[in-house]
Chains A and B, each alone.
Chain A
Amino acid sequence: MFFKSPKKNKRKEQDHSKQEDFSTELSTSLEQNIVNIKKMLDQPSDLITRPFIVGETGPACAIIYIDGLTDTKVINDSIMKNLQIGVDEIESRSEETETALLDRLSHHFISSGSVKKVTTMDEASLAILSGDTALFVEGTDQLLVIDTKGWKSRSIEQPTTEGTIRGPRDAFTESIRTNTMLIRRRIRDANLRFKSQQIGRRSKTRLTVAYIDGIVHNDLLQEVNKRLESIDLDDAPESGYIEQWIEDSFLSPFPQMHNTERPDKVATALTEGKIAILLDGTPFVLIAPATFGAMMHSPEDYYERWMIGTLLRILRYFAAFLAVFLPALYIALVSYHPGLIPSKLAFSIAATREGLPFPAVIEAFLMEITMELLREAGIRLPKPIGQTIGIVGGLVIGEAAVSAGIVSPVMVIIVAVTAIASFSLPSYSFAISIRMLRFSFMLAAAFLGLYGIILAYIMVNIHIVNLKSFGIPYSTPFAPAFKSDWKDLVLRVPIPMMNRRPKFLQPEDEKRIDKEDQS
């Protein structure tokens, strides 16, 4: 104890001295301010300080910015050029105060879109760190923050996870400004709102809540805002962090918010009365609330004619059914109720299963896990190899497993159909939930056959009716039943017939189409 204490003191002193080294207040001395900023950020190599004099003989100034986050062209053209060459009248008014000079610079000479006067060091440093340029003038404890944000970002590309044949090809990017632009371009409504806030104690990531005022239900908006306020993270690198923080139940396998990289999808969701949450640094935008029915929808349903859209949706429900039940049904039928299978089919299945070492359950698990592995590996590998591994792995392993007498050919067919069915679901997160459910159904079938499957099905239903997404039951509009919303659930009626916004969202403005205008 005795020996330890001086050390402790020393460290404390050191911390103390570091704190004392610079002042967190802005001073009137230009030099002092620059030194303070540099000390605060600990002399970063990408911090550029550029001292100069306004006009011919004006006061000493300096701009500070971070290289890489800023657009140097803007700095050169609209700050430096104007202040150094354009200013002639400064001398004639040398009697004015420095603060007034600052105002005059901002009013007359800096030709950048957004200029803000800032009076604290914290604001100044945050602005510099987010890509703005700070302009200090000798003799004043205020400074100008000029918007010069401009960093390299990916160009707008095609959506990679949600492909459609027909529909817009643009997807969100990592830059939140681009993303809001993509939404604004689609909804030119004066009531479209973007409310920003910062998330992450360290990262200070910008998060924007988008909604259309006058459509969205007020409670929903309040609930979203309330939950967003409760977020206390160090860092929010992806919207998944936000989603998991504000979702209703973390015990549920189902995604309780949509994530999408399609601006058209977000735009339609907003006009329905939903809320979108955009996060800087990720192309995935969250849509709340989510319902089971909406998980089955793809934007393409609306772009094709209604019959095609309806057919595709029915097909998708069927695919979800297959993806969940098929292996479980196979297990149940083969190991518990062979009498249920038509005799001819039963014989051929029995013939292929002859000499197989494992019961149907083990066989099914073996193949399903292999399938999941292939899928996972296909995602991680570089794209050209990924596709090959799918084909080679799938074909070769399937073929070899059958000829080696480990699994039956029927099982291979079932696994393949299941996998294809689960690929056809439009929402990737939802498809993962379905994959998880499949395994529990297989277990239920292994224990209690058809009885187990039906009980598992009932349990999933119990879970879904109890689940809520932002106060809205996940099972809407099936139950509680909103019959007017069934027009756009499994069916997709012709667009002119969808004259109301979804009722379950209780939008303030229910009418989508005025009947009078139509005729």
Chain B
Amino acid sequence: MKSFEYADEEIGQNEIGYVIPSVVIGAGILSLPRVLSEDTVNADGWLAILVGGIIAVFFTWVVTKLASRFPKKSFFDYCSLLISKPLAFILTAYMAMYFMLFASYEIRFVATLSQQYLFASTPKEVLAFVFLLVVTYAVAGSRVALFRLHQLFLPIIIGILFIVLLMAVPLIDMNHFFPLFKTSGTGYLKGTKSTLLSFMGWGALLFYTSLMNKPKKATKAGMIGMCVPIILYILLYVAAIGVLSNVVAANLTYPTNELAKVIEVPGGFFERMEIVFFTIWVMALFTSSIVFFDVSVVALNSLFKKVKKITLILVLAPVIFLVGMMPQDRLHLSKFSEILGYGGITVSIVIPTILLIVAKMRGVKGHE
């Protein structure tokens, strides 16, 4: 049966535009004001976000340019064209592992957070396991359905964030912002680095662009998509500093949640807003997790073409769970995220750049 244009396993530019913010908005946003406040003074961190954001947008451009050169080709396929097959195999495997680790991290993060805010006595293994089940259920479905999930959830997530921001406005103390530009150069540099790490995720486009019906449009959609979290991050950061002040933000584990805590719902319907905020935030963490999980499945599937998708999922899910449960405490967890950060730099910045340069120099192009 020839099906409807939009009912097949292809995606358009809209979907790509939705994926980027869905991936980026996740674990990072909760701790971002803290990370920035550690390195910058007063509200200077917004500049770091902006610079980090511009870098992120630039590399989104690099990634989409590279991927859209080879329409309908998987990462492994065009990698083999550019740099011999064995090297491509290693690269793809490395990427699959990176995304898998990232999925583990997200799942662990959900468990830790929900243990902290909702269930002090329920073991984190149970919380992570239930979450992983839902993620697996999503990934096991059709791939375009994942993109539809982003389309459904992203407006909710951004809407909730905006409500929190709006309600925080009356609480902002302007004194927390001034004086401006007091941060040293290294401070800005460090801040930029840490924001850049929280923007990681555009690497997913290396794999998803091959699903597009018009890959050329990926560039624009991806860059617009990247701008959404940048704007949100800046607004959120400014609000967090304005309400909590730099010093307080630097000493809270998840300042964004605390921001949700201090605001009050008119009418007094809910006390402790941060629980409601976190509950809805589970959706944001979920949308990131499904992308990481799915991309690692896509990557592995391009390596092992004969293996069924569902088999890969069933093999990966327990691994993700076990890896996610490995870090013993928060210290280990932040080590984990650091490793992920460096992995992210190689996956999202170094590898695509090298590949694009190679492609340009050798003039290799995929066939339409």
Q: List 24 A-B contacts (CB under 8 A).
A: A219-B3, A220-B4, A337-B275, A339-B272, A340-B270, A342-B269, A342-B271, A450-B118, A450-B276, A452-B130, A453-B279, A454-B280, A454-B283, A455-B134, A458-B134, A461-B149, A462-B137, A465-B146, A465-B148, A471-B1, A472-B7, A475-B148, A480-B147, A481-B14
For A219, the chain B residues whose CB sits under 8 A away are 1-4
- From A336, A450, A454, A481, contact of B151 by CB (8 A): A481
Residues of B within 8 A of A (CB): 1-7, 12, 14-15, 114, 118-119, 122, 127, 130-131, 134, 137-138, 141-142, 144-153, 268-272, 275-276, 279-280, 282-283, 286
- Interface majority SS on B: helix, strand, loop or mixed? helix
For A462, the chain B residues whose CB sits under 8 A away are 134, 137-138, 141, 145, 149
A:177-196 near B, CB below 8 Å: none
- From A341, A466, A471, A479, contact of B3 by CB (8 A): A471
B350, chain A: closest CB distance, angstroms: 34
How distant is the Cα of A475 from the Cα of B152 in the complex, in angstroms?
A: 9
Nearest chain A residue, comparing its CB with the CB of B11: A480
Residues of A within 8 A of B (CB): 217, 219-220, 222-223, 226, 336-337, 339-343, 448-455, 458-459, 461-462, 465-466, 468, 471-473, 475-476, 478-481, 504, 506
Q: Let me know if B4 and A466 touch, CB within 8 A.
A: no
Q: Let me know if B142 and A466 touch, CB within 8 A.
A: yes
For B122, the chain A residues whose CB sits under 8 A away are 448
Q: Let me know if A449 and B4 touch, CB within 8 A.
A: no
**Given A458-B283, A475-B152, are A217 and B114 also a contact pair (CB < 8 Å)?**
no
Q: Let me know if A458 and B286 touch, CB within 8 A.
A: yes
A271, chain B: closest CB distance, angstroms: 19
Chain A CB within 10 Å — which of B149, B150, B269, B280 has the most? B149
- From A449, A459, A461, A481, contact of B118 by CB (8 A): A449
B273, chain A: closest CB distance, angstroms: 9
For B283, the chain A residues whose CB sits under 8 A away are 454, 458
Q: Let me know if B271 and A343 touch, CB within 8 A.
A: yes
For A336, the chain B residues whose CB sits under 8 A away are 118-119
For B118, the chain A residues whose CB sits under 8 A away are 336-337, 449-451
Q: Let me know if A455 and B130 touch, CB within 8 A.
A: yes
Chain A CB within 10 Å — which of B127, B269, B275 has the most? B275
Chain A CB within 10 Å — which of B6, B119, B144, B268 has the most? B6
Nearest chain B residue, comparing its CB with the CB of A455: B134
How distant is the Cα of A337 from the Cα of B2 in the complex, in angstroms?
A: 51
How distant is the Cα of A481 from the Cα of B17 in the complex, in angstroms?
A: 12
Nearest chain B residue, comparing its CB with the CB of A476: B6
For B12, the chain A residues whose CB sits under 8 A away are 480
- From B134, B145, B276, contact of A465 by CB (8 A): B145
Q: Let me know if B1 and A451 touch, CB within 8 A.
A: no
For A504, the chain B residues whose CB sits under 8 A away are 6
Q: Let me know if B1 and A226 touch, CB within 8 A.
A: yes
**Given A461-B153, A462-B138, A475-B152, are A342 and B4 also a contact pair (CB < 8 Å)?**
no
How distant is the Cα of A342 from the Cα of B269 in the complex, in angstroms?
A: 6
Nearest chain A residue, comparing its CB with the CB of B12: A480
How distant is the Cα of A453 from the Cα of B114 in the complex, in angstroms?
A: 13
Nearest chain B residue, comparing its CB with the CB of A475: B148
Q: Let me know if A478 and B4 touch, CB within 8 A.
A: no
Q: Let me know if B130 and A448 touch, CB within 8 A.
A: yes
For B137, the chain A residues whose CB sits under 8 A away are 459, 462
Q: Let me know if A449 and B119 touch, CB within 8 A.
A: yes
For B131, the chain A residues whose CB sits under 8 A away are 455
B159, chain A: closest CB distance, angstroms: 14
- From B5, B271, B282, contact of A339 by CB (8 A): B271
How distant is the Cα of A226 from the Cα of B1 in the complex, in angstroms?
A: 10
For A451, the chain B residues whose CB sits under 8 A away are 114, 118-119, 127, 130, 279, 282
B155, chain A: closest CB distance, angstroms: 9
How distant is the Cα of A452 from the Cα of B269 in the complex, in angstroms?
A: 21
A174, chain B: closest CB distance, angstroms: 33
Q: Let me know if A342 and B151 touch, CB within 8 A.
A: no
A451, chain B: closest CB distance, angstroms: 5
**Given A219-B4, A341-B271, A471-B3, are A454 and B282 also a contact pair (CB < 8 Å)?**
yes
How distant is the Cα of A452 from the Cα of B279 in the complex, in angstroms?
A: 9
Q: Let me know if B279 and A454 touch, CB within 8 A.
A: yes
Return the 10 tightest CB-CB contacts between A and B, nearest first.
A479-B151, A479-B148, A465-B148, A466-B141, A465-B145, A462-B138, A466-B145, A450-B279, A471-B3, A454-B282
Chain B CB within 10 Å — which of A340, A458, A472, A506 has the most? A458
Nearest chain A residue, comparing its CB with the CB of B14: A481
Q: Let me know if B145 and A471 touch, CB within 8 A.
A: no
For A217, the chain B residues whose CB sits under 8 A away are 4
Nearest chain B residue, comparing its CB with the CB of A220: B4
For A481, the chain B residues whose CB sits under 8 A away are 14, 151
Q: Let me know if B282 and A471 touch, CB within 8 A.
A: no
- From A450, A471, A475, contact of B4 by CB (8 A): A471
Q: Let me know if B268 and A342 touch, CB within 8 A.
A: yes
**Given A217-B4, A451-B119, A451-B282, are A478 and B130 also a contact pair (CB < 8 Å)?**
no
Nearest chain A residue, comparing its CB with the CB of B7: A471
A335, chain B: closest CB distance, angstroms: 12
Q: Let me know if B2 and A340 touch, CB within 8 A.
A: no
How distant is the Cα of A471 from the Cα of B6 in the complex, in angstroms?
A: 10
B170, chain A: closest CB distance, angstroms: 20
How distant is the Cα of A452 from the Cα of B134 in the complex, in angstroms?
A: 11
B340, chain A: closest CB distance, angstroms: 24
A215, chain B: closest CB distance, angstroms: 15
